[in-house]
Amino acid sequence: MWHVCFICRIQKDGYKRQISKTLIQKEAMMHIE
């Protein structure tokens, strides 16, 4: 579940780069669930 920490870290640090916006969104859905 590293993606969860990754998402939280991005949101917390505001490091919203255009690395994988789609991937982040997809993982975010899993994070919410």
* Total domains present in the chain: 1
**CA 21/CA 13 separation, integer angstroms:** 16
Residue range(s) defining the domain that contains residue 23 = 2-32
**CA 17/CA 1 separation, integer angstroms:** 21
Per residue in 11-24, pLDDT (tens digit) is 665 555 555 567 76
Give backbone dihedrals phi and psi of 19, rounded to 5 degrees, phi first: -70, -55
Indicate the residue type of 17. Answer: R
Instruction: Determine which of 6-10, 15-19, 25-29 has the lowest per-residue pLDDT on average.
Output: 15-19
pTM: 0.26
